[in-house]
Amino acid sequence: MAEKELIPNDTPEIAKLKACKTKEELEIANDEIFRDKAYGYYSESYKTELWNLYIKLSSELPTTKKELVNFDNNSVAILDVTKHDLEKIGLNLKSDLEPITEYSALKKMLYLIDYRMQVIKDKAIENFAEKFGGSKTEKLHGITITLKELTKVSYSDKVQDLEAEIKLLQNQLKQAKAMEIKKADREVTGETLSLTLH
């Protein structure tokens, strides 16, 4: 790849971005520019110029990182695996990681999968309608996919009042538990791990 041309009158910030050889270097350089105290004094047009250059270089520069997930038609072997097979794989999966490290990695994978499913949900619905016409239920890759209608029910005042009363009681119960939790007797029944992503 050709070297980025450094024009003699490039500002230090522009020169810093152009000097980057990888996306990782670009991320670090851009972060340093953004965190510099002087950034707050830049004009909006100059900030825009820096941002546009960052976007341009980000699309051109190579990365040193391996792709975390690669979904192409040749690599998605998991689509041919049954539920039973998945359980066997999960039970016998080989890992060189310490259990706590593997547990943490799996937590991140769960978050990634859930987040990605939310991102593509609407496109998946459109794709289902295009692929299967007016059908509501289809089997695909060992999964039964059902297109369900979302409905909103208008309940009577009696039901709404009952729902409000239950919510009020639930809040009162929550507050009462919070007040007693510090002085209540406790019995240790086991241990678990709580993982929080940052």
pLDDT digits (tens, 9 = 90+) for 80-109: 788 888 898 888 888 888 999 999 999 999
Give me the residues paired with residue 145 across strands: 138
**Residue 137 pLDDT level (bands cut at 50, 70, 90):** very high
CA distance 8 to 147: 60
Q: Which two tokens stand for residue 107?
A: 């937590």
Give me the residues paired with residue 146 across strands: 137
If one compares 182 and 13, the residue with the highest pLDDT of the two is: 13
Inter-axis angle of helices 23-35 and 44-60, to 10 degrees? 170
CA distances to 34, 56, 135 from 130, rounded to whole Å, are 44, 35, 10
Looking at residues 152-173, what average pLDDT do you find? 95
Beta strands in the chain (DSSP E): 137-140, 143-146
pLDDT at residue 168 tops 60: yes
Q: Which two tokens stand for residue 29?
A: 């350089």
pLDDT digits (tens, 9 = 90+) for 20-37: 998 889 989 998 998 888
